[in-house]
Amino acid sequence: MEFTIVGAGMAGAFLALSLGRQGHVVTVYDRRPDPRGATVAVTSMNLGLSRRGLAALDRLGLSEEVTRLVVPMRGRLLHNVDAGPRFSPYGDGGILAIQRQDLSALLVDAACREPGVRFVFETRCTGLDRDRPSATFEGPDGRSFEVRPDVVVGADGAFSAVRRFMHHELRAEFSQSYLEWGWRELHIPAAADGNHRMADDVFHLWPRGDTMMFAHPNRDGSFTCSCVLPFHGPDGFDSLRTPSDVEALFRREFPDVLALVPGLGEAFLRRPTFNLVTVSTAPWTYEGKVALIGDACHAVYPFLAQGMNSAFEDALELTDSLARHPTDPAAALARYYARRKPNTDALAAMSHRNFAELRDTVRSPAVRLERACDTLLEKVLRHRWMPLHAMVTNTTIPYLQAQHRASRQHRILKVLGAAALSAGAVAVGRRLRR
Amino acid sequence: MEFTIVGAGMAGAFLALSLGRQGHVVTVYDRRPDPRGATVAVTSMNLGLSRRGLAALDRLGLSEEVTRLVVPMRGRLLHNVDAGPRFSPYGDGGILAIQRQDLSALLVDAACREPGVRFVFETRCTGLDRDRPSATFEGPDGRSFEVRPDVVVGADGAFSAVRRFMHHELRAEFSQSYLEWGWRELHIPAAADGNHRMADDVFHLWPRGDTMMFAHPNRDGSFTCSCVLPFHGPDGFDSLRTPSDVEALFRREFPDVLALVPGLGEAFLRRPTFNLVTVSTAPWTYEGKVALIGDACHAVYPFLAQGMNSAFEDALELTDSLARHPTDPAAALARYYARRKPNTDALAAMSHRNFAELRDTVRSPAVRLERACDTLLEKVLRHRWMPLHAMVTNTTIPYLQAQHRASRQHRILKVLGAAALSAGAVAVGRRLRR
């Protein structure tokens, strides 16, 4: 079959490769330049490749190639303001830090090795006729042209044009929601000897309640940081107008980082601020003719680091569904949607909740206590108890199943907590009666 | 101040009148033709004017003029399949049925009597610069022009163009959701002697679970019916392909109506099907320059009949806020939004719940029982207990307050129910022990 994919990001390039391997003919269009030449613009936080993503790359025989590009992170290191840093391991496998541009170039390269796959860059999708189906594009010379594949796939991100065209005047469910927090990227350069200036095998996390920061190690000795602040309020982006405003905030909240980035104030103010959006929509497909994958149909808050990992799962499920119904694309697309939608809905809910937890880790004793119990039970009940984060990150358990299991565990913790409280109350009562 | 209002429907025309009375200069643009000449296209169900809407019209001195156009409905008449019809009164005031075209023409006429107000029809809004602010339009001759008022108001309905332009690349919350049910209008003509063929002073309701129908009496002896069916399934619009399919459904579910509409099958199939959409968004305003009112910012399911009534309340709140901050439109618009948003959010939630209740009235003994208790307590506790529907329809209690009070009452009913159950259990227990 013949496919047109709009968007050559992680989702689109991976899908092109996956479909190409099945012998399909695929053309991928992207309005941006070729990632193998140009510098890829920052559009999302650092990439964290976890078990699911790695399993997907492995299925396409890429895990070895990818391994050469990653920096493994075996756990997270919490940087506290008062006490020293605290380490908590990720468990099996950990998470692999990888730079967007590296992985993007690798995927495009690998896809281009398939005889049926080609990429067309700097070419924007300007229209879709979902019934034929056909799509129109405008190339770098300003000229328009039309293509007529069997299926058009929108892999064009949270603000997907394909989605908008596909849903036009249909009874489509759609919601978008933004956090009152945004983020900016910061760069911690390598030391003079080329080494990392902090531990290079962990995910660095500075949770501070209303503000927080993360850092991923890069292969060149540097770190890429994501600094998450509210838009408004005393520590908000709005209030940081001069380099000394920025430095005052860092001195108070992230003093160790301030020492590592020369000219931090100016560097911070030069960077653009990014939003944190979540998008949910239905349906994802139109007959056997149009489909959406990745952020185009389920953009989530990035704090569980599952955006790319879930997009790879989408692509494999779509490919598998087409293989299962080789002559019936409508049945294939329906199967793909039915199997993925409940899982990415669960991912969205978990990502939302995870943000609140990350924020409150530092403040709420209840959250800290539950985390501690979770980790303890994991050790005691090995394989029969697994914290949510571990199920999402270290396994390929479908998201929905992970969510159900986590909420069962949560209920057990609550019952245990209540039992502990009543036992305590009984003990106190006995003591008083004596 | 100078205002541009996009949309001359109920919300826009009423706001123009309200602002005109305060001495503002207002131009209203609408892409449709003048409702005083043309036949107004059906875009929503029959209008039900309840206490809030009437109070708003009264504030502008229109209640007497309007009263000449209405047909009062003093309660609702439930048409059962097996038993005879059952009447339940609305209480104080009731609801007034009014035809959209009549009220629309009246409002435009009244607004035009204000020296500062004018209407421009068949002219489409094609753009908005929210910062200047300015808006561009395309007239019936195809020529474009730009206007530069102090404030642009989007009163252009659930699919508002002003909203889309205003929110472009802002962190705007937006969600739209559709019911799996749609509706078609049907007309029951007057009898040969010009009289109504059913009771003319009630709201007729045929609740059947998955399908339902309503009818409003018109002044000319006819009725306008809204027939609500699922899109899919055995009784869905999709399955009704021939006149005899339609008549079979009516014979089973709405036999009394079948007898009153000659050629019902053909008439039904000729009508378009309308969707039922709910829209929620934030923010509604941009600085002191752009504002949304009515369906453009809070389209709700129509089953509580509050769409127009709540739009009138929006318009009065916006006018009052401008009067309170005559030299500071930013403060005025912020006040308007802060006061209306919680109330229309409550309305949306209540409208959603009301649909489920309407559907299940016929099936669920629990819903029926709660309704009966509600009505009984209203009689016993007069003024201290009021069913939700009565608060929404017969009062001007803000929606949020109505919602809170109703959920308090709902909790009391549950406690009473539990108490009654336990009392029953105790009684049974005693009897068994004897």
How far, in Å, CA of A204 to CA of A215, rounded?
Answer: 5
How far, in Å, CA of A171 to CA of B333, rounded?
Answer: 32
- Pair of tokens at residue B142: 């195809």
Q: How far apart are the first and last CA of chain A?
A: 82
- What's the pLDDT at A353? 85
pLDDT tens, position by position, A233-249 = 999 999 999 999 999 99
- What's the pLDDT at A395? 85
Q: Which H or E run contains B401?
A: helix B399-433
How far, in Å, CA of A293 to CA of A341, rounded?
Answer: 10
H helices of A361-398, in order, are 365-380, 388-394
How far, in Å, CA of A211 to CA of A186, rounded?
Answer: 15
How far, in Å, CA of B383 to CA of B386, rounded?
Answer: 7
Whether the pLDDT of residue A252 is over 80: the answer is: yes
- Pair of tokens at residue A405: 């299991």
CB atoms within 10 A of CB A273: 13
Q: What percent of chain A has pLDDT over 70?
A: 88
Least confident among A72-86, A223-237, B97-111? A72-86
How far, in Å, CA of B52 to CA of B395, rounded?
Answer: 6
- What's the pLDDT at B412? 78
How far, in Å, CA of A394 to CA of A99, rounded?
Answer: 20
- What's the pLDDT at A280? 96
Helices B307-324, B51-59: crossing angle, 10 deg rounding: 40
Among B173, B176, B275, beta carbon nearest to A177 = B173
Q: What percent of chain A has pLDDT over 90?
A: 69
- What's the pLDDT at B40? 63
Whether the pLDDT of residue A137 is over 90: the answer is: yes
Chain A's closest residue to B180, CA to CA, is A171
Whether the pLDDT of residue A371 is over 80: the answer is: no
Burial (Cβ within 10 Å: 0-12, 13-18, ≥19) of residue B57: buried
Among B171, B175, B178, beta carbon nearest to A275 = B171
| Helix, strand, coil percentages, rounded to 5, for chain A | 45, 20, 35
Q: Which residues of A touch B172 (CB under 8 A)?
A: 176, 178
Residue A295 sits at φ, ψ, to 5 deg, of -55, -25
Q: Which residues of B touch A176 (CB under 8 A)?
A: 172-175
Contact B177 A173 (CB under 8 A): yes
Among B175, B231, B275, beta carbon nearest to A174 = B175
Q: Which residues of A touch B171 (CB under 8 A)?
A: 178, 231, 275, 277
Domains and their CATH numbers in chain B: 2-46+99-177+277-353 (3.50.50.60), 180-270 (no CATH), 365-433 (no CATH)
Q: CA of A81: how far to CAs of A256, A311, A365, A397, A428, in Å? A: 9, 36, 17, 36, 37
Reduce the DSSP state of residue A417 to 3 states and report it. Answer: helix
How far, in Å, CA of A245 to CA of A268, rounded?
Answer: 11
Chain A's closest residue to B182, CA to CA, is A171
Contact A173 B176 (CB under 8 A): yes
- What's the pLDDT at B198? 95
Average pLDDT over residues A113-141: 97
Among A174, A231, A275, beta carbon nearest to B176 = A174
Q: Which residues of B touch A279 (CB under 8 A)?
A: none
pLDDT tens, position by position, A149-207 = 999 999 999 999 999 999 998 999 999 999 999 999 999 999 999 999 999 999 999 98
Q: Letter for the amino acid at B367?
A: V
Question: How far A77 CA lies from chain B's nearest CA (Å)?
Answer: 32
Q: Which of B164, B177, B237, B278 to probe by mutation at the A interface, max A CB count within 10 Å?
A: B177
Whether the pLDDT of residue A326 is over 70: the answer is: yes
Chain B's closest residue to A176, CA to CA, is B174
Q: Letter for the amino acid at B222?
A: S
pLDDT tens, position by position, A22-31 = 999 999 999 9
Angle at B398 between CA B394 and CA B399, to 5 degrees: 85
Q: Which of residues 267-306 of A touch B (CB under 8 A)?
A: 275, 277
How far, in Å, CA of A304 to CA of A348, rounded?
Answer: 10
Instruction: Please name which of A125, A120, A149 lies closest in space to residue A34, comparing C-alpha atoms.
Output: A120
B171 touches chain A (CB under 8 A): yes
- What's the pLDDT at B41? 66
Identify whether the C-beta of residue A344 lies closer than 8 Å to the C-beta of residue A297.
yes
Average pLDDT over residues A122-129: 97
Per-residue pLDDT of chain B (434 residues; tens, 9 = 90+): 999 999 999 999 999 999 999 999 999 999 999 999 877 666 667 789 988 999 999 999 999 999 999 999 998 898 988 778 888 888 777 899 999 989 999 999 999 999 999 999 999 999 999 999 999 999 999 999 999 999 999 999 999 999 999 999 899 999 999 999 999 999 999 999 999 999 999 999 998 888 899 999 999 999 999 999 999 999 999 999 999 999 999 999 999 999 999 999 999 999 999 999 999 999 999 999 999 999 999 999 988 889 999 999 999 999 999 999 999 999 999 999 999 999 999 999 999 888 877 776 656 666 666 666 666 666 666 666 777 878 888 888 889 988 888 888 877 777 776 666 666 666 666 666 66
Whether the pLDDT of residue A417 is over 80: the answer is: no
- What's the pLDDT at A401? 87
Among A173, A175, A275, beta carbon nearest to B178 = A173
- What's the pLDDT at A208? 86
Q: What is the largest CA-CA distance in chain A?
A: 91
Identify whether the C-beta of residue B175 lies closer than 8 Å to the C-beta of residue A175.
yes
- What's the pLDDT at A365? 65
Q: CA of B24: how far to CAs of A383, B3, B19, B136, B322, in Å? A: 71, 7, 6, 21, 10
Reduce the DSSP state of residue B233 to 3 states and report it. Answer: coil
